[in-house]
Amino acid sequence: MFMRPIVRISMVLVTEVACAASPRYCGVVQAALPTRTLIVTVSTSCEAMVPAYCQGRFGFRVTGDGAFLVGPEPNGRSVSGHLRDAESRALRSAAAQVLAGVSASLSVECNIRPEIPGVGESVEVSANDRTVVLRGSGGRLGRGCAPGDATADARLFRLVDRLMRRYYPDPF
The number of folded domains in the chain is 2
The answer to whether 19 touches 100, Cβ cutoff 8 Å, is yes
Whether 1 and 63 share a structural domain: no
CATH code (residue 100): 3.30.1560
172 within some domain? no
Q: Both 52 and 128 in a single domain?
A: yes
Based on the domain organization, do 47 and 113 belong to the same domain? yes
Give the 3-state DSSP-derived string for 124-135, with helices as H, strands as E and coil as C.
EEEECCEEEEEE
Angstrom distance (rounded) from CA 147 to CA 170: 31
Q: Is residue 17 part of a domain?
A: yes
Same domain, 9 and 80: no
What's the confidence (pLDDT) of residue 144?
82
The pTM for the full model equals 0.75
Mean pLDDT of 110-125: 81
Q: What pLDDT, on the 0 to 100 scale, is given for residue 3?
A: 38
Residue 76 identity = G
Q: pLDDT tens digits for 54-87?
A: 999 999 999 999 999 999 999 999 999 999 999 9
Domain co-membership, 139 together with 85: yes
Residue 31 has pLDDT above 70, yes or no: no
Which domain range does residue 138 map to? 34-167
Average pLDDT value over all residues in the chain? 80
Question: What's the pLDDT band for 48 if we cut at 50, 70, 90?
Answer: confident
